[in-house]
Structure 1
């Protein structure tokens, strides 16, 4: 089987699918500046490796089109989980102390993380703090980015409102066993940035990314 090792068109395809959720051959060709024939060859290899899957898009009576998405194995190519030991440890802790105490422990952990973030984000503008948060999340294994909110085709004033997007989850295994951590993460961002933070997209709900609207209180 073909494997993806060095940065390559195949890696670019995987990154694009991670960010967009799904794409056709033509969309990939246009975005990556590679011929459709070349894209098809790479997609064939990636599908043979089990890293992507396709579905048929029937539009009228003509030749069907195909839309490609990452398989679970494809998503696993990106840093998206702690060691199984961490999940096992939390399971043991939950069985030992009970659900209520476990909830309190998780909350204290996120409060501690929020204080750490807040100290490292500094006292700059909201944009500067958001940019620094993205850098911290990238260092922790998240594929994160942030953009100013676009309102009716016009970007709002710098430093006003932002969308933070994370295309993978570095604690996905933990979130599966302890869904409350996602709520604590939302609170953590709000406390660290001293802002209002709302969830716009959620991997746990089957979407291909987590999204957060960040704006002043």
Structure 2
């Protein structure tokens, strides 16, 4: 759309449209293309960028639940295990790229902040023995199986191991009545 189209569609002034467009350009949500029209002032057409499409798109929650249910129903346990491990590795690798290459405690602290940015309440603590990461609410409550199989719990453990570059263990779980899920480095033997 061009500015005039946006003015008509939104019922606001051209100045208001331009101010909003400028903010969205800065945020990377909109792209603009120059329209050649001969002499005079150039005009531009605006469209959503790939980041804008992601933000404006539908909530993938319903799809995630359906995919998770289909994975959980795979009849071959080895195929299910392989697929969950691949998912954990991919998500963990995305987090790992955002973590500084520093001590495990620093990476765990940074991980708690990255999770918080995704609205997953997590807290890092280090009492001197082993550092721990407390996750105060299940990140995916609709996907958690409260029965015998704890696929989501295992996936989170594997994802954190991949992200932190250190084998992690789920030392406490809310499904067992604890106040939070606690992840700690696997003690070296």
Which residues of structure 1 form unaligned runs of 5+? Answer: 1-81, 150-155
Q: Quote the residue 1:201 is aligned against.
A: 172
Rounded to whole Å, the distance in 1 between the matches of 2:71 and 2:125 is: 39
Establish whether residue 166 from structure 1 lines up as the match of residue 135 from structure 2: yes
TM-score, normalised via structure 2 length: 0.56
Provide closer, same or farther for how the CA distance between residues 180 and 215 of structure 1 changes in structure 2, counting only shifts above 3 A: closer
Match of 1:213 among 170, 181, 184: 184
The superposition leaves residues 130-155 of structure 1 with CA deviations (integer Å, 9 ceiling, x where unpaired) of 12100111122211101112xxxxxx
The number of residue pairs the alignment matches comes to 126
CA contact (8 A) 2:91 2:159 kept: yes
TM-score, normalised via structure 1 length: 0.50
> What pairs with 1:171-186 in structure 2 (closer than 5 Å)?
171-176=140-145, 179-186=150-157
Give runs of ≥4 in structure 1 deviating > 4 Å: none
> What pairs with 1:25-174 in structure 2 (closer than 5 Å)?
83-92=61-70, 94-95=72-73, 98-100=75-77, 101-149=79-127, 156=128, 161-174=130-143
RMSD: 2.6
Rounded to whole Å, the distance in 2 between the matches of 1:216 and 1:123 is: 21
Rounded to whole Å, the distance in 2 between the matches of 1:148 and 1:210 is: 16
Query: Is the partner of 1:176 in helix, strand or coil?
Result: coil
Rounded to whole Å, the distance in 2 between the matches of 1:92 and 1:128 is: 37
